[in-house]
Amino acid sequence: RQNKIALEDLKGSTFTITSLGTMGGMFATPVINYPEVAIVGIHKIEQRPVVHEGQIVIRDRMYMSLSFDHRVVDGAVGAEFTQYVKKFLENPALLFIQL
User: What does the pLDDT look like over 22-31, one tens digit per residue?
Assistant: 776 677 888 8
Burial of 41 (0-12, 13-18, 19+ CB in 10 A): buried
- Best-predicted range by mean pLDDT among 7-11, 18-22, 90-94, 95-99? 90-94
List, for residues 35-82, the tens digit of each pLDDT value: 899 999 888 888 999 999 999 999 999 888 899 999 999 989 999 999
Q: Name the more confident of 9 and 69.
A: 69
- Which of the residues are catalytic? 70, 74
What pTM, to 2 d.p., does this model score?
A: 0.73
CA separation for the pair 28, 65 (Å, rounded)? 6
Q: DSSP H helical segments within 1-99, as ranges? A: 75-90
